[in-house]
Amino acid sequence: MILKNISVLYGNDLKFIKKTNVQISGRTFHKISSKILSTKNKVINCEGLLLIPGLINSHTHIGDSIAKDVALSKNADSKIHPVFGIKQKILKETKPAVLSHFMRKTMKSMLKKGITTFVDFREGGIGGVLLLQEALSNLPIRAIILGRIEFYQSKSQIKKNVMLPKSNLDQLEFLLKNCNGLGISGSNENSDSTIRQFSKTKKIRAIHCAETKQSYFISKHLTKKTEPERCILLKPDFLIHMTYATKNDLKFVSKKIRGIVVCPRANASLAEGIPDVEQMLKAKCNVAIGTDNVMINSPDMFREMDFLWKITMGIQKKRIDPKKILKMATVNAGKLLDKKIGCIKEGYLADGVFIKKNDLDLDPLQNPYAAIVHRASENSIKAVMIEGEIIHGKL
């Protein structure tokens, strides 16, 4: 397939090319050039469209789709604590078929909003992983499933540094055969020894870290170590949140991980502050974005980018290039996952979102980065493509 006369955000720096041609071969971008010769491939005239990389939602809990806006007035632990939170009670009491139904709705919503890949922290052990796989049936969206065993240690066990029991290690091994890696709830539910046992697993490892002021305090109180210090024992590929990370924390983790996923709307909705993205970038951290719990937020990356851009400028009182924010939802996320996604470049998977340049909210398109970050919406999308196939809308 050849996309002719199309505008593109190309490569790792999202270079704006006003008019070019894009050749897709199989599942990947094969050639991007204004000089592609006519071939036997299907040719589509894309005049008036801007192709951007498929959006990557780097942190979700889509099982929470069943509990939208429940307990809005409660604090973070009351809502989402992995042991006694309201969310856990709802998940346990809901029939699997009902959970699957609402997870499918959320995935369909993400596709329509230009999200081609999402990374889900899946609760419920092997049953939770298999349920999400079932919900994914016949949906083209790419899911990176990070599972966990339902094992949480007490404060006493953490202080005594109790190891993970053999039976749980067996569960862990079976779990990892059926998903893409581990999504650990946090260091405050696991001893150092247990976290080190988790670190020996071979797939993706990620963990919530420094999400709340209370979680940061509990870590210091229980172990005399900061939450980031303990989370790094996991040898994680990336950390989630880091809302309360200090400058020293960020310097400490920046060279040890592939990146940090921030979820600003979720943090704000829980009245837990805003992650210091500016400080993360200064510390050379690779920053990606997630929408987090569907219980709290809509899974909408346009809204997430818009909120992060404006709230960061409001707090820092200085301008931030919107391209940096867009990279967090595309290029940076691909690097975080170590996959050839999030970038329109030869050899990368052909994921993309076709934006209507004459959309009422975008026209005239004078700064494509700002337009996408704070003006674009689901209504701006003409079509969504995953691995060279148009899976939503049409050209």
CATH of the domain at 234: 3.20.20.140
**Pair (25, 111) in one structural domain:** no
Q: What is the pLDDT of residue 225?
A: 96
pLDDT at residue 87, as a whole number: 67
Question: 252 φ, ψ to 5°?
Answer: -65, -45
Query: Percent of the chain beyond pLDDT 90?
Result: 88
Q: How far is the C-alpha of 183 from the C-alpha of 88, rounded, in Å?
A: 16
- Taking 80 as the threshold, does the pLDDT of residue 309 lie above it? yes
Which tokens belong to 186? 């946090």
Task: Lowest mean pLDDT of 58-67, 203-212, 235-244, name the range.
Answer: 58-67
Q: Are residues 123 and 191 in the same domain?
A: yes
Are 38 and 101 contained in the same domain? Answer: no
Give yes or no: residues 69 and 201 share one domain: yes
pLDDT at 69 over 90: no
Choosing from 292, 314, 337, the residue where a domain stops is 337
Question: What type of residue sits at position 344?
Answer: I
For the segment 20-42, what is each residue's pLDDT rounded down to a tens digit? 999 999 999 999 999 887 667 78
Q: Are residues 78 and 124 in the same domain?
A: yes
Same domain as 64, residue 49: no
Residues listed for the chain = 395
Lowest mean pLDDT among 29-43, 50-64, 144-158, 160-174: 29-43
Which amino acid would we find at residue 67? Answer: A
Question: Are 74 and 89 part of one and the same domain?
Answer: yes
Counted domains in the chain = 2
Sheet strands (E) in 197-339: 204-209, 238-241, 259-262, 287-289, 292-293
The per-residue pLDDT for 94 is 81
The domain spanning residue 371 has which CATH number? 2.30.40.10
Same domain, 121 and 230: yes
**Mean of the per-residue pLDDT values of the chain:** 94
* Mean per-residue pLDDT, 145-170: 94
- CB count, 10 Å around CB of 316? 13
Largest pairwise CA distance in the chain: 70
Contact between 247 and 283 under an 8 Å Cβ cutoff? The reply is: yes
Element (H, E) at 279: helix 277-282
The 8-class DSSP code of residue 236 comes to -
Beta-bridge partner residues of 147: 122, 182
**Residue 245 and residue 210 in contact, taking contact as beta carbons nearer than 8 Å:** yes
Per the structure block, which two tokens stand in for 278? 């500016």
- At residue 76, the pLDDT reads 67
309 with 299, same domain? yes
- The b-or-e profile of 120-141 (16+ CB within 10 A means b, else e) is bbbbbbbebbbbbeebbeeebb
Is the CB of residue 59 less than 8 Å from the CB of residue 15? no
Task: Verify that 331 and 361 share a domain, yes or no.
Answer: no
In this predicted structure, the answer to whether residue 46 has a pLDDT above a threshold of 90 is yes
Residue 77 has a pLDDT of: 65
The region of weakest confidence among 71-80, 124-133, 325-334 is: 71-80
Cis, peptide link before residue 368, omega less than 30° from 0: no
Residues spanned by the domain of 91? 55-337
Q: Tokens 């889900």 identify what position? A: 120
Residues 114 and 180 in one domain: yes
Task: Tally Cβ neighbours within 10 Å of residue 221.
Answer: 10
DSSP helix/strand/coil, 151: coil
> pLDDT tens digit string along 224-233?
999 999 999 9
pLDDT of residue 79: 59
In terms of phi and psi (left: phi > 0; alpha: psi -120 to 50; beta: otherwise), the region of 11 is: left
